[in-house]
Chain A
């Protein structure tokens, strides 16, 4: 038996034959990056390879000075004898599945992906392979998304009801990907749409890439607070309990994330309304993508990897969870309940700052929630 083409190492998924990493979580010499979310793109690598449409987002994440080589979707290159090509994953703008071919064997690293329609990025492409490394963030049968159009209708109805009550709609969502997908589905005729600075930075990249988005000026540009009365505001979850939100009078808070499928998650976020809109595959999509790849072997990362692997084994597939830093990592962000992590004795300084944080980390809000709770 030969060595596996890709192994899980301390620094991340490693291809020894080509001597490069895929989505490493520590700085390495050569990194192939599936997309610019912070759990996939780490700064300070010497060389990056990513998709052409994802290049600018990665630069925003790891710094303009980084050495980033763009590659068009579907275009093969060869590195140390390993064929590498990137294929649309349907997750966010520029997101890729990484196809590796070596001595006739094909491996596919899915990165994050979804099959449901999204006007802001290229649709998921089914790629055949021998061995598939798939994400499994929502790998339980309780996760079955409603059609995105229906969820967008719910959001629009919620916005309208808030307008009738004279209240601002504050919709929390990841600044990169989710915010643009929401924006593309909103009707600007219904009322003004404003965004947090972190969202605006990502919007600018999307617009430059030719993704049509309705006008959505930054909140800081609004002349008067009264402008927000009928407005819908898109902001990253980190803005939820900051003084920044004080400018909105009694806002109604919504949250768009796949985790909102579970009522407990919404309650723990202390928002009024949850919308189960995800940029990850749900249970049927995972099963469809895995079947569509034709893979004989499936390795799973993120979320409910154990459960999905066991289910696939019961269906006769060779499936295993792949150890990554997200597995078994006690004390990770989602492992500690928000109420429990607040220690009674460490009273925080009373910051009275209503500015937006310009922290890069904040700007590209880590989609930690989408990592799963294990």
Chain B
């Protein structure tokens, strides 16, 4: 626990990517594999369920620290973070322990869930007496299900790849899907390449970068495959072991939300993985994304909503064919195999993303100008000779959006509005990613409906991390598409850019914070 708490502190303290990777790597190299397995599990954001309620934790800590309820609340408000408040208030420990992380988790933390209240409380008192401040902070975060650390999965992958001397892509793939931390699992994670994929495991999604040059600078037009940039939910369909798995980019299994896919995708041959987009459509007409959002928002998929907003999967890439990983093959070849596979199965639930035919860049640009009418966001340009890379490989996939002055950003701070909206949190600060951390870059007030505002308001109240006067820092969970009129360099802003007239274009409920744009996307617009 001690060295894991030290790692947590080190990651919390540095803002530099290289140092974060080095700290993770040093920890993993020194830790026993069963400890390293849990560390990886926590670092990539897989946390155990909450085992102790925050109200109970408050009461018990207050008691142990001799701090009355109101004073605890004052402290909590000053610190902003419950786990940290509790760590700061508790009296210093009288004992120490060298119990390793996996035993803390397996023998102490997880069993807490099965104890009654009195036993939980007695156990915590024992544990507190063995933990110093930094360890308590981590421990409290773990038992309240609030563990979160400022590193992106990419950094954890980089550290593991360095450690095992294997490709980051291999590590990324091994981390996907469901797994339980154990010594064997960790050894498998950093083992030499060539192990079989687990049945459900998808491949890391290849992500496109916004095009920041004239398309003509990409070279000859015929070296590039053009497709529409669909405005749906990016997903992979995995057909293995007689089963079907639909994965969102947020690594969620979302097959149940799309019952349309079951019959047709079930006819895919064994050992097939498709990459594509889940889209709402009726006949040949693609429906606006908002329609799909309406459907996702429903708890129950009634017959009515399924009829109103039918959806299907538009396939644009083939990653596994006949049980073989074909990501290394060039796009041109993958596309041929994809067409052979999907064309006979194509129907209402499964279609092929059409190639946009245009002789030259100018002709393509003219087609792109029509994007809105087609309910697409613009064009995708994919290098025909390129393999399917891992993550944000630059240079092979470009998104050539119609309105380039927009990014997906994460809500990080909220403040109450004025006038009619004085009682609602309606003024927001949005952030984009840089080096695994969220960097605030603009404030925006307008663009949401009253119902959405009320919903965000509830979210803010329930997810306040810290308060600074009227401003609340919130759990970075909600993603919005932010549009703006202009952008310029600025020394005044931490992000280094200042945008003009930012506004919320829409709430991207389909995206997780990890999907939000990188600061590079903003810089590219300069």
Q: Give per-residue flags for A327-354: 1 if the beta carbon is below 8 A from chain B beta carbons, else 0.
A: 0001000111101101111111011000
Q: What chain B residues lie within 8 Å of A340 (beta carbons)?
A: 413, 415, 429, 443, 468, 471
Are B15 and A270 neighbours in the complex by a CB distance under 8 Å?
A: yes
Q: What chain B residues lie within 8 Å of A65 (beta carbons)?
A: none
Is A210's CB within 8 Å of the partner chain B?
no
Q: What chain A residues lie within 8 Å of B71 (beta carbons)?
A: 140-141, 307, 310-311
Are B443 and A304 neighbours in the complex by a CB distance under 8 Å?
A: no
Chain A residues bordering chain B, tally (CB within 8 A):
38
Q: Give per-residue flags for B478-518: 1 if the beta carbon is below 8 A from chain A beta carbons, else 0.
A: 00000000001111111000111010000000000000000
Are B442 and A344 neighbours in the complex by a CB distance under 8 Å?
A: yes
Q: What chain A residues lie within 8 Å of B489 (beta carbons)?
A: 350
CA distance A274 to B471 in the complex (A): 23
Is A262's CB within 8 Å of the partner chain B?
yes
Please give me the residue from chain B that is nearest to A138 by CB atom: B78
Are A142 and B85 neighbours in the complex by a CB distance under 8 Å?
A: yes
CA distance A270 to B68 in the complex (A): 33
Please give me the residue from chain A that is nearest to B500 by CB atom: A345
Is A272's CB within 8 Å of the partner chain B?
yes
Min CB distance B308 to A, Å, is: 39
Min CB distance A254 to B, Å, is: 10
Is A61's CB within 8 Å of the partner chain B?
no
Known A337-B471, A348-B492; judge A272-B78 contact (CB<8 A).
no
Q: What chain B residues lie within 8 Å of A280 (beta carbons)?
A: none
Are A141 and B15 neighbours in the complex by a CB distance under 8 Å?
A: no
CA distance A142 to B502 in the complex (A): 39
Is A221's CB within 8 Å of the partner chain B?
no
Is A316's CB within 8 Å of the partner chain B?
no
Are A272 and B13 neighbours in the complex by a CB distance under 8 Å?
A: yes
Q: What chain A residues lie within 8 Å of B88 (beta carbons)?
A: 142, 144, 261
Q: What chain A residues lie within 8 Å of B12 (beta carbons)?
A: 263, 267
Determine which of A262, A272, A339, A348 lies in contact with B490 in the assembled complex, contact meaning CB atoms within 8 Å.
Answer: A348
Q: What chain B residues lie within 8 Å of A339 (beta carbons)?
A: 412-413, 429, 440, 494
Is B79's CB within 8 Å of the partner chain A?
yes
Known A337-B471, A339-B429; judge A307-B500 contact (CB<8 A).
no
Is A373's CB within 8 Å of the partner chain B?
yes
Q: What chain B residues lie within 8 Å of A264 (beta carbons)?
A: 79-81, 466, 473
Chain B CB count within 10 A is highest, among A142, A314, A345, A347, for A142
Please give me the residue from chain A that is nearest to B150 by CB atom: A267
Is A130's CB within 8 Å of the partner chain B?
no
Please give me the residue from chain A that is nearest to B415 by CB atom: A340
Are B502 and A344 neighbours in the complex by a CB distance under 8 Å?
A: yes
Are A304 and B74 neighbours in the complex by a CB distance under 8 Å?
A: yes
Is B65's CB within 8 Å of the partner chain A?
yes
Is A273's CB within 8 Å of the partner chain B?
yes
Are A262 and B84 neighbours in the complex by a CB distance under 8 Å?
A: yes
Min CB distance A232 to B, Å, is: 17
Chain A CB count within 10 A is highest, among B78, B413, B490, for B78
By size class, the interface of chain B is 35 or more
CA distance A334 to B469 in the complex (A): 8
Is B14's CB within 8 Å of the partner chain A?
yes
Is B75's CB within 8 Å of the partner chain A?
yes
Are A141 and B67 neighbours in the complex by a CB distance under 8 Å?
A: yes
Min CB distance A294 to B, Å, is: 24
Are A141 and B89 neighbours in the complex by a CB distance under 8 Å?
A: yes
Q: What chain A residues lie within 8 Å of B468 (beta carbons)?
A: 268, 334-337, 340, 373
Q: Give per-residue flags for A134-165: 1 if the beta carbon is below 8 A from chain B beta carbons, else 0.
A: 00000011101000000000000000000000
Please give me the residue from chain A that is nearest to B484 by CB atom: A344
Q: What chain A residues lie within 8 Å of B13 (beta carbons)?
A: 266, 272-274
Q: Give per-residue flags for A289-315: 1 if the beta carbon is below 8 A from chain B beta carbons, else 0.
A: 000000000000000100100110010
Are A342 and B471 neighbours in the complex by a CB distance under 8 Å?
A: no
Q: What chain A residues lie within 8 Å of B68 (beta carbons)?
A: 314
CA distance A88 to B275 in the complex (A): 73
CA distance A263 to B466 in the complex (A): 11
Min CB distance A30 to B, Å, is: 35
Min CB distance B429 to A, Å, is: 6
Min CB distance B309 to A, Å, is: 36
Q: Give per-residue flags for A218-232: 1 if the beta carbon is below 8 A from chain B beta carbons, else 0.
A: 000000000000000
Please give me the residue from chain A that is nearest to B74 by CB atom: A307
Please give me the residue from chain A that is nearest to B490 by CB atom: A347
Q: What chain A residues lie within 8 Å of B498 (beta carbons)?
A: 344-345, 347
Which A residues from 231 to 247 make CB contacts under 8 A with B? 241
CA distance A344 to B489 in the complex (A): 11
Q: What chain B residues lie within 8 Å of A345 (beta carbons)?
A: 498, 500
Which B residues from 315 to 372 make CB contacts under 8 A with A? none
Q: Give per-residue flags for A252-280: 1 if the beta carbon is below 8 A from chain B beta carbons, else 0.
A: 00000000011110111010111000000
Are A262 and B78 neighbours in the complex by a CB distance under 8 Å?
A: yes
Are A347 and B492 neighbours in the complex by a CB distance under 8 Å?
A: yes
Q: What chain B residues lie within 8 Å of A346 (beta carbons)?
A: 492
Question: Could you show 30 A-B contacts with beta carbons less than 8 Å apart?
Answer: A140-B75, A141-B65, A141-B71, A142-B75, A142-B85, A264-B466, A266-B13, A267-B12, A268-B468, A270-B494, A272-B16, A304-B74, A314-B68, A330-B469, A334-B469, A335-B469, A335-B470, A336-B469, A337-B413, A337-B471, A340-B443, A342-B492, A344-B493, A345-B498, A345-B500, A346-B492, A347-B488, A347-B490, A350-B489, A373-B469
Across the A-B interface, the 9 shortest Cβ-Cβ residue pairs: A335-B469, A348-B492, A142-B88, A337-B468, A337-B471, A339-B440, A307-B74, A347-B498, A142-B75
